[in-house]
Amino acid sequence: MILPLQTLLRERITLALSTRYGLDPESMPTMAIEYPPNRRLGDLAVTVAFELARTLRRAPRVIAGEIAEAVGDAGHLDGLGRLEPTGAGYLNVFLDRAACARGWMSGTTEANPARGPKTVVEHTAINPNKAAHVGHLRNAALGDTLCRLLRFRGAEVEVQNYIDDTGVQVADIVVGLRKLEGKGLDDLRVLVDQPRFDYYCWNLYARVTEWYDQDDSRLTHRRATLQELEHDTDPTAAIARLLTDRIVRCHLNTMARLGIEYDLLSWEGDIIRLQFWARAFEILKSSGAVFLQPDGRLAGCWVMPIEDADTGAGAATDNNGAATEPADSDDDARLKVIVRSNGTVTYVGKDIAYQLWKFGLLGNDFRYRWFGTQPSGRPLWATSSVDTARPPDTPPTPPFGRASAVYNVIDTRQSYLQDLLVQALNALGHPREAEQSVHFSYEMVALSRSTARTLGYADAEGDKPFVEVSGRKGLGVKADDLLDQMTSHAEQEVAARHEDLASDAQRRIATIIATAAVRYFMIKYSKGKVIAFDIDEALSFEGETGPYLQYAAVRARKILHKLHDRHGLETTTLLAELATTSTAGLTDESGDGLWDLILDASRLDEVAEQAVRTLELSTLAKYAFGLAQRFNGFYHSSPVLAEQDDARRRWRAAGVSYFESQMTRALGLMGCEVPERM
């Protein structure tokens, strides 16, 4: 891993700048380390000379030369090779290839971070009233990858999945069951055990929506049902409980197909029953973060003042021009209602209470109940509003919440609400938590024109390049349908290549491939980009796809296996013997391609760091793809088994082995496995 080496390089140069020019290390700009466009120029490039040109009143090239001189032989230690001024003022570094490669491959440079601060990541949060669709897959894939990255960097991560079981969407299904299907609780008990119960609800939800649209008066059924849910009145509440429990289990099964698991299911109903809001309201009132609006349009409401987007500076500039505006309406615009004049709490209110709980700032806690064991063996808990006996043979309930950092993975349409959470934390005097309260925001998944047409929505008029997914209308690609199509496509491909494999083995491989295809597809786009989901594009296994990455890893493994079979060469002994293996095959010009591969493979930690820092997980995907491309190039140009020279063959094998392990880790961070064959 290259990060420690970069740190070392920065230290060396900082020291040189301090001794040579007397610069204060504190005031120096953060030193960017780049990669020159081609290896002949060097392995790393530092541009600090350009930035210092002005203050030092010297040409960048001269500065670069002086830094190189000042660092001198100190650079040769620990894998840093020689420094060389290049071009207009770049300071390029030529690494000691053999020393670096040996270090990376033996894992001695591995940073072993201590158990970091506890981080809560909330993701998935699908309304428990219908099947999951591709939009939910983007959320879960991003959220789960983020978790894996955070753990990779040493954090303790707790994954929460919020279940909004009290909203109208659930009420609508209850209405549908009763009014459209004529079914009650007993019928539902049979229904939920039918396969694809979530698909049944998907269709029912669309039908209810249509049914409402035909006659507005039918909405009274929704209101009545919603009231019964709020008051926990059976049998309505019992129907909703059974319904949401089963749908949640459907969602969990879907996500499990992608290797996505959770630690805690947080049920909104419990937040309400345990009166989290009442507690949060006390806190908000006593701190003055909310106040009762005495008159005007919002008379009788408890409101929270809203800051303008960019700090408080915006409000000050308004002072000049605002005089002409009617002061009343202008003020109202910057107030967010938290409690309505009828005394009920708004959506934000519940969110604030939950967010406070995540940080351990609420003072109240949930009860917990055992929810089940997930495929990997990981336990899953759910919140509860009553104490329940822990089933035998289950682990003790862990201490949930009390995080020092919180990531909420929610699409960009929720930005406004998420911003309000941060403002509430600030208003309550928790600036540190406000700072650590991160909205991982991303754009939605829509449907491409052609895919929408394939689904039978030909009427999607207008000139939009995409069609928005709508659960309410039943318009969308269901997650399980996509996975099914992916899997059967992969199965055909596997069968065509490996007739000898038993069908269950083919099936297993196909599943692994399909998972990678879906997950990579959801990760490879920048978060700020709307994905116009196209089924044909997603179904492709060629080019920039998950299977391409897996294929490269499989090829690498194959080489290592054959090396063992034909030459009796074990990877571990191979790596151990590198210390005494002649390095010509790596250090001379013929080793450039091999070195490029090794250097690129070493960058995983740097990329993971960047992905988390910028919350741009596509960088991880792009890096892994680039690495796979590089390996495939190497694969075609540099045979390993057929190489005559023993030392050269060993170095190539070592490079392949290093690539394989780094690629496997990169795929692992994206929740993808490497199949045994492809």
Residues of span 466-505 touching RNA by CB under 7 A: 468, 490, 493-494, 497
Picking from 192, 180, 269, the residue whose alpha carbon sits closest to that of residue 218 is: 180
Which of 404, 470, 629, 664 is the binder for RNA (CB under 7 A)?
629
Picking from 641, 649, 632, the residue whose alpha carbon sits closest to that of residue 585 is: 649
Task: Give the CA distances from residue 661 to residues 305, 371, 520, 652, 665, in Å, rounded to whole numbers and listed in that order.
Answer: 52, 35, 19, 14, 6
Helix/strand/coil for 94:
strand
State in angstroms the smallest separation of the CB of 338 from RNA.
Answer: 9
In the region spanning residues 82 to 121, those forming contacts with RNA, defined by CB under 7 A, are 86-90, 92
Which of 109, 619, 657, 661 is the binder for RNA (CB under 7 A)?
619
Which of 51, 232, 592, 673 is the binder for RNA (CB under 7 A)?
51
Interacting span for RNA (CB under 7 A) from 41-49, 203-211, 232-240, 382-390: 41-49
State in angstroms the smallest separation of the CB of 619 from RNA.
Answer: 6
User: Rounded to 5 degrees, what are φ and ψ at 321?
Assistant: -85, -15
Interacting span for RNA (CB under 7 A) from 17-25, 104-112, 338-346, 355-363: 338-346
Minimum CB distance to RNA smaller for 400 or for 551: 551
Which of 175, 382, 554, 597 is the binder for RNA (CB under 7 A)?
554
Q: Show the site string, 284-303: x = touches RNA by CB under 7 A, - = not.
A: -------------xxxxx--
In the region spanning residues 125 to 154, those forming contacts with RNA, defined by CB under 7 A, are none
* 400 secondary structure, DSSP code: -
By the 8 A CB rule, do 96 and 76 touch? yes
Interacting span for RNA (CB under 7 A) from 73-81, 105-113, 255-263, 334-342: 334-342
| Locus of tokens 């120096």 | 28
Helix/strand/coil for 500:
coil
Asked if residue 399 binds RNA (CB under 7 A), the reply is no
Which of 140, 509, 574, 594 is the binder for RNA (CB under 7 A)?
509
By the 8 A CB rule, do 127 and 526 touch? no
Which of 1, 9, 12, 42 is the binder for RNA (CB under 7 A)?
42
Amino acid at 512: I
Which of 3, 9, 53, 264 is the binder for RNA (CB under 7 A)?
53
Which of 32, 278, 458, 576 is the binder for RNA (CB under 7 A)?
32
State in angstroms the smallest separation of the CB of 187 from RNA.
Answer: 26
| Locus of tokens 């919002």 | 298
Q: Show the site string, 591-610: x = touches RNA by CB under 7 A, - = not.
A: -------------------x
State in angstroms the smallest separation of the CB of 324 from RNA.
Answer: 13
Asked if residue 319 binds RNA (CB under 7 A), the reply is no
d(CA 198, CA 130) in angstroms, rounded, equals: 5
Which of 417, 505, 539, 569 is the binder for RNA (CB under 7 A)?
417
Asked if residue 524 binds RNA (CB under 7 A), the reply is yes
Interacting span for RNA (CB under 7 A) from 204-212, 240-248, 413-421, 587-595: 413-421
By the 8 A CB rule, do 116 and 48 touch? no
Which of 14, 20, 23, 36 is the binder for RNA (CB under 7 A)?
36
Minimum CB distance to RNA smaller for 321 or for 377: 321
In the region spanning residues 56 to 75, those forming contacts with RNA, defined by CB under 7 A, are 60
18 CB-near residues (< 8 Å, 6+ apart): 24, 25
Which of 210, 317, 614, 645 is the binder for RNA (CB under 7 A)?
614
**H/E element, 323:** none
Which of 183, 340, 367, 507 is the binder for RNA (CB under 7 A)?
340
d(CA 289, CA 296) in angstroms, rounded, equals: 20
State in angstroms the smallest separation of the CB of 86 from RNA.
Answer: 5
Minimum CB distance to RNA smaller for 436 or for 638: 638
Which of 341, 373, 503, 590 is the binder for RNA (CB under 7 A)?
341
Asked if residue 531 binds RNA (CB under 7 A), the reply is yes
Interacting span for RNA (CB under 7 A) from 363-371, 473-481, 540-548, 576-584: 540-548
Asked if residue 7 binds RNA (CB under 7 A), the reply is no
496 CB-near residues (< 8 Å, 6+ apart): none
Which of 17, 33, 155, 669 is the binder for RNA (CB under 7 A)?
33
Helix axes 592-601, 646-669, angle to 10 degrees: 30
Task: Give the CA distances from residue 19 to residues 13, 22, 560, in Å, rounded to whole numbers and listed in that order.
Answer: 10, 5, 48
Q: Are strands 437-442 and 466-468 parallel, antiparallel or unpaired?
A: unpaired
Picking from 467, 267, 273, 451, the residue whose alpha carbon sits closest to that of residue 369 is: 267
By the 8 A CB rule, do 258 and 138 touch? no
Give the binding-site size for RNA (rule: CB under 7 A): 100
Interacting span for RNA (CB under 7 A) from 48-56, 134-142, 146-154, 364-372: 48-56
By the 8 A CB rule, do 612 and 146 touch? yes
Minimum CB distance to RNA smaller for 253 or for 329: 329
In the region spanning residues 203 to 242, those forming contacts with RNA, defined by CB under 7 A, are none
* Cα-Cα-Cα-Cα dihedral sign, residues 270, 273, 279, 281: positive
**H/E element, 567:** helix 546-567
187 CB-near residues (< 8 Å, 6+ apart): 177, 181
Counted residue by residue, the chain has a size of 678
Q: Show the site string, 424-443: x = touches RNA by CB under 7 A, - = not.
A: -------------------x
Which of 50, 199, 211, 370 is the binder for RNA (CB under 7 A)?
50
Picking from 386, 665, 3, 89, the residue whose alpha carbon sits closest to that of residue 11 is: 3
State in angstroms the smallest separation of the CB of 305 from RNA.
Answer: 13
Strands (E), 131-229: 156-163
Angle at 423 between CA 420 and CA 429, to 5 degrees: 145
d(CA 666, CA 620) in angstroms, rounded, equals: 8
Minimum CB distance to RNA smaller for 382 or for 446: 446
State in angstroms the smallest separation of the CB of 60 from RNA.
Answer: 6
User: Computed over its alpha carbons, how large is the radius of gyration of the chain?
Assistant: 29
Which of 114, 190, 309, 579 is the binder for RNA (CB under 7 A)?
309
Which of 1, 2, 16, 45 is the binder for RNA (CB under 7 A)?
45
